[in-house]
Structure 1
Amino acid sequence: MKVTTKRLKATSPLSTDYSLHKLFMNQLREMIWSKRLFSKTIPKLIHNISSPNLIFIMNDHAAVTRNQIIRLQKALELNDVKGKGKKCVVIQALINKSKSTLEYTEQGPVRDAAIVANVQKIEHYSIAAITTLIEFGKVLRKDAIVDLLSKILIEEKQTDIVLSEAAYNTINFDAAIDENKFLASHYYRRKTH
């Protein structure tokens, strides 16, 4: 059995002249593109949410996301790179999934649960991507950029926690409507101190 290998093209991101710095910059540009696209999507999601608590959480996250875009622009400027983003097909697919959820769910608790699930998928991808960027930045000694990215990572993790708590405390229970059409959450609310 003969095994053949293909030579990498010079334009391939994996070619031998592709440096870690270039990889870092390209992924940073993908992150800013992703945040900009998600920032445009959040208001559409909020418009379709019925839970007042989830509306509050998503409005807060919209403001956080706008600040993250500013930090990412600063990170690019620190490397003399214009704030132009680079398309990220993964985030685009996740956002498209979020939008399609609106087509097959009715306004109410089930749609709220679906929105939380989709937003958390976006957050999880962002957490992984930012963690990788931080590690690249440490190796490249881009301390100022690592600091900016670390703040974003903390915010992303906090958003994920807040969404999980909202889902657990009410949203998922409300989506599990009982036979009598009463919202199940009034049976399961946890006591707060």
Structure 2
Amino acid sequence: METKSSAKKAPAKTAAKTTPSKTTAAKASSKTPAKKDAAKELKDLFEDSLKDIYWAEKALVKALPNMMKNATDEKLKKAIEDHLAETETHVERLEACFESLGKKAQAKKCDAMQGILDEGKSIIEETEPGAVRDAGIIAAAQKVEHYEIATYGTISAFAKVLKEEECLQHLLQTLKEEKKCDELLTKVADTNLNSKAL
């Protein structure tokens, strides 16, 4: 028979509360100062985002032929070739967006796309030609597509709020094509390509 003292449970340990130091709290509350040409309204941010993706699409037009040249799988080569033609159309649609806004088409370097394309180039250099390189090319291409899907989704939402209907239609059409390309790349990877890379 247990005694009352032996049946007692040890008190549950409570997590030690940590409070940020005053210095840390002060750093967290101080905001990053804006640049002189910083966006002040949603329209400014929208136009800035258009410049960013315009640069990204033009850079992709230059990068896709190298991916296609290094691919081995015929379905993958065809998917890249088809998307290159689509990407050239995406550039034209963005130019039409700028025109609908009464602005000259202008590109602003997209650091995110540059990083993704640099990584894609490294993947090609770090893989043997064949199924392994093809798998790497698909991985790199899907990173591109996911970035573009996120970007076009966001700027389409901006265009909708800003009532830029003509531009919105161009952006939504491109978004649809980016999603379709991503699905196709997944299909190509799943139809034995990844298994061949084992």
TM-score by length of 1: 0.86
Match of 1:8 in 2: 33
Shift of 1:9: 3.9
Pick the aligned partner of 1:57 from 79, 83, 90: 79
| Equivalent residue in structure 2 for 1:67, among 81, 85, 89 | 89
Once residues 103 and 8 of structure 1 are traced to their aligned partners in structure 2, the CA distance between those partners, rounded to angstroms, is 40
From 120, 126, 137, the counterpart of 1:104: 126
* Structure 2 counterpart of 1:164, one-letter code: T
Opposite residue 105 of structure 2, the aligned amino acid is G
Partner of 1:158: 180
Write the letter of the residue equivalent to 1:106: E
3-state SS of 1:102 partner? helix
1:80 CA displacement: 1.8
1:124 aligned onto 2:149: no
In the TM superposition, 1:143-154 aligns within 5 A as 143-154=165-176
User: Hey, what's the Cα distance between the residues in 1 that align with 2:64 and 2:31?
Assistant: 43
Q: Given the alignment of the two structures, is residue 47 of structure 1 paired with residue 69 of structure 2, yes or no?
A: yes
Q: State whether structure 2 residue 190 is matched by structure 1 residue 175.
A: no
Offset at residue 7 of structure 1 (A): 6.9
Counterpart-to-counterpart distance in 1, 2:66 and 2:58: 14
Shift of 1:79: 1.0
Alignment of 1:30-41 (within 5 A): 30-41=52-63
Question: Aligned Cα RMSD in Å?
Answer: 1.4
Residue 30 of structure 2 aligns to a residue in which SS?
coil
Tell me, in whole angstroms, the C-alpha distance in 2 between the residues paired with 1:109 and 1:148: 36
TM-score by length of 2: 0.83
| Partner deviation per Cα, 1:152-189 (whole Å, 9 max, x = no partner) | 0000000000000000012111111xxxxxxxxxxxxx
1:76 is matched with which residue?
Answer: 98
- Write the distance in 2 (CA, Å) between the matches of 1:40 and 1:117: 18
- Cα distance in structure 2, aligned partners of 1:54 and 1:35: 20
Following superposition, the deviation at residue 10 of structure 1 comes to 5.2
Secondary structure of 2:72's counterpart equals coil
Closer/same/farther in 2, CA of residues 141 and 111 from structure 1, 3 Å limit: same
1:119 aligned counterpart, secondary structure = helix
Structure 2 gaps, min length 5: 1-21
- Once the two structures are TM-superposed, the CA of residue 13 in structure 1 deviates from its matched residue by 2.7
Paired-residue identity, %:
32
